Amino acid sequence: MAFSVVLHQVTFLLAVLSLRTSRSKVLGEPLQLTPEIHTVSLQSALQEANLEWTVPTFSHQELNIVFQIEISRMRTSNTIWVGNYSTTVKHEETVHWKWTSDIPLECATHFIRIRAMVDDTQYPPQSSWSNWSSWKEVNAQVSVPPDTLLIFPEDRLLEEGSNVTICLMIGQNLYNVSCKLQEEPIRGEQLDSHLSLIKLNNVVFLNNAGTNINCKAMNGTKNTFGTVLFVSKVLEEPKNFSCETRDFKTLNCLWEPGIDTTLSWHKQRSQHYTLYESFSGRREVSNHRNSHTWQITEDSQETYNFTLTAENNLRKRSVSISFNLTHRVHPKAPHDVTLKTVGATKAHMTWKVPSRGDYTLLCQVELQCEGEVIHEHNVSVHTSANYLFSDLEPDTEYKACVRCASAHHFWKWSDWMQKKFRTPEAAPSEALDVWRDVRTENGRHVVTLFWKPLLKSQANGKIISYNIVVENEANPTESEQYSVRAPALGTNLSLDLHPYKIHISANNSAGASPESLVVLSSHSGHEESMKKQLKV
């Protein structure tokens, strides 16, 4: 009977415990997971505190936990920051978290504590936090000699437009401290008799050597204490990032780097640039500010996805491009360009292009005369090509030009290649425009001949002389020939009173023009002059 009673009591207790566990899950009673802070490491130059803690009572394999972190300054009751940090915690895992202070850590003691709450789908919503951990003191303060003023941060690097808080730690023998930013007075907030804070908002870049802050106490010492703010220009995103190939062996990548963020005293070097290609996984650092040469491998890769990253001490900025190699071909200029004239009105042009298998280029041929384009034509080319210019003017200087681009996916034209040439002379194509003056003296005709110079398009070269043939119509077998050197535009003849035919033509190195004819009758003063083309 006694054994039965005991068994009944045990069964009852198990039932009660089961009910309590069930009610705990339903009502969301807190799991007591009180954190324990182990270490706080400081990076004073960055004003950072790095925390490490564990949850000693944590026995689960993995849970998502929200940690609430409270930070106080100078005393635990002076809370300056409260925030939550959510993370997945594994069994016996150390949790890491970083906090950045708004003031230099040397200026004041800080205190940190943490509590936790489970935030996991495995459990109903929790109704309350765990207990707080013990306060952890964070102390980076330095002792201040009585006649000294310490200023933090020391030689701080920051970006234009940032906010910064300057901390003044004042020795006990100093008072009435005043400060200047360059030459402008600045005022701060007195936290106690030996600690002041000066808040500077939206700091500006003044020069590469930094911005000076100088402070001085009104009593006793004449010493000036100071620090330097190295304010960097904001790193800009690279602009107009582009890559192209000229030979299918290298990619030439170019970009506009923007403002150089170099600072003096080796505080910050110029930003550097890194290219990462995602398909190949290759990463290369450029040796230049605005360009990089990327070697194309022989693995037949056609598609490229580049990310260009600019980086200095303060930040990174990235841009990306993606392209097919055959769509970014900027050919080299054509080579072995030759020109041969064919007579006085034609010229034959040949050239070669850099070849790659069956890749086709479209070449643009252009003919210029006196600075104006007078002819254009397109030619498809694999390795070499030729073109015949026709209807040219004799004795004329021309410039033949050729450039090429991808025939199927136009990207950019190559540079122009050009050749100057001059067509040879041809015989003058027009007869001279001639007139004459006739007078009688001493029983003879004195004939003065005049002619207009041929136009350039008629002369077809440089006129070097004029031929004059005088034919006596009374005795056709008797004729006289005269030569008048250019640039003379006339001559005098003394003839008897017989009728005459006078033939005049212009000569260049290629031949003579059609003749002009002047007919003189025996009746002086009544003759007509004529311009007549004769077959020679």
Rounded distance between C-alpha atoms, residue 351 and residue 379, angstroms: 11
The total number of structural domains that make up the chain: 5
Q: 527 in a domain, yes or no?
A: no
Q: Does the structure show a pLDDT above 90 at 289?
A: yes
Q: Does the structure show a pLDDT above 90 at 476?
A: no
- Beta strand 225-232 with 156-159 is parallel
Q: 11 in a domain, yes or no?
A: no
Q: 531 in a domain, yes or no?
A: no
Q: 532 in a domain, yes or no?
A: no
Other residues' Cβ atoms within 10 Å of the Cβ of residue 388: 10
Whether residue 410 is found in the same domain as residue 480: no
- Residue 37 has a pLDDT of 95
Whether residue 247 is found in the same domain as residue 270: yes
Q: Does the structure show a pLDDT above 50 at 28?
A: no
- Residue 220 has a pLDDT of 59
Q: Any idea which of 18-27, 202-211, 446-455 has the lowest mean pLDDT?
A: 18-27
Whether residue 52 is found in the same domain as residue 82: yes
Last residue within a domain, chosen from 277, 299, 327: 327
What does the pLDDT look like over 204-238, one tens digit per residue? 999 999 999 999 888 756 778 999 999 999 999 99
Q: Does the structure show a pLDDT above 90 at 299?
A: no
Q: Which two tokens mark 434?
A: 């001639």
Other residues' Cβ atoms within 10 Å of the Cβ of residue 34: 17
> Distance from first CA to last CA of the chain, Å, rounded?
158
Whether residue 381 is found in the same domain as residue 469: no
Rounded distance between C-alpha atoms, residue 281 and residue 297, angstroms: 13
Last residue within a domain, chosen from 87, 116, 138: 138
User: Domain range spanning residue 249?
Assistant: 239-327
Within 8 A by CB and 6+ apart from 45, the residues are 153
Whether residue 469 is found in the same domain as residue 489: yes
Q: 23 in a domain, yes or no?
A: no
For residue 159, give the nearest of 314, 318, 44, 48 by alpha carbon: 314
- Residue 19 has a pLDDT of 38
Model confidence at 534, pLDDT cuts 50, 70, 90, reads: very low
Whether residue 226 is found in the same domain as residue 262: no
Model confidence at 194, pLDDT cuts 50, 70, 90, reads: confident
Last residue within a domain, chosen from 327, 361, 377: 327
Mean per-residue pLDDT, 308-324 = 97
Q: Does the structure show a pLDDT above 60 at 12?
A: no
Model confidence at 305, pLDDT cuts 50, 70, 90, reads: very high
Mean per-residue pLDDT, 39-54 = 91
Model confidence at 524, pLDDT cuts 50, 70, 90, reads: low
- pTM beyond cutoff 0.95: no
Mean per-residue pLDDT, 71-99 = 93
- Residue 29 has a pLDDT of 53
Whether residue 260 is found in the same domain as residue 292: yes
DSSP letters spanning 366-430: EEEETTEEEEEEEEEESSEEEEEE-SPPTT-EEEEEEEEEESSS-------EEEEEEPPP----S
Mean per-residue pLDDT, 2-16 = 40
Whether residue 445 is found in the same domain as residue 418: no
**Three-class secondary structure assignment of 71-138:** EEECCCCCEEEEEEEEEEEECCCCEEEEEECCCCHHHCCEEEEEEEEECCCCCCCCCCCCCCCCCEEE
Q: Any idea which of 53-57, 131-135, 429-433 has the lowest mean pLDDT?
A: 53-57
Q: Which two tokens mark 188?
A: 């701060």
Residue 275 in 3-state DSSP? strand
Q: 98 in a domain, yes or no?
A: yes
Whether residue 188 is found in the same domain as residue 253: no
For residue 227, give the nearest of 276, 154, 327 by alpha carbon: 154
Whether residue 453 is found in the same domain as residue 405: no
Q: 4 in a domain, yes or no?
A: no
Q: Any idea which of 213-222, 303-312, 384-393, 526-535 has the lowest mean pLDDT?
A: 526-535
Model confidence at 31, pLDDT cuts 50, 70, 90, reads: low
Model confidence at 43, pLDDT cuts 50, 70, 90, reads: confident
DSSP letters spanning 215-268: EEESSS----EEEEEEEEPPPPPPEEEEEEESSSSEEEEEEE--S---BTTTTB
Residue 310's CATH number: 2.60.40.10
Mean per-residue pLDDT, 174-202 = 90
Q: 80 in a domain, yes or no?
A: yes
Residue 21 in 3-state DSSP? helix
Model confidence at 332, pLDDT cuts 50, 70, 90, reads: very high
Q: Any idea which of 117-131, 392-406, 467-481 has the lowest mean pLDDT?
A: 117-131
- Average model confidence (pLDDT) across the chain: 89
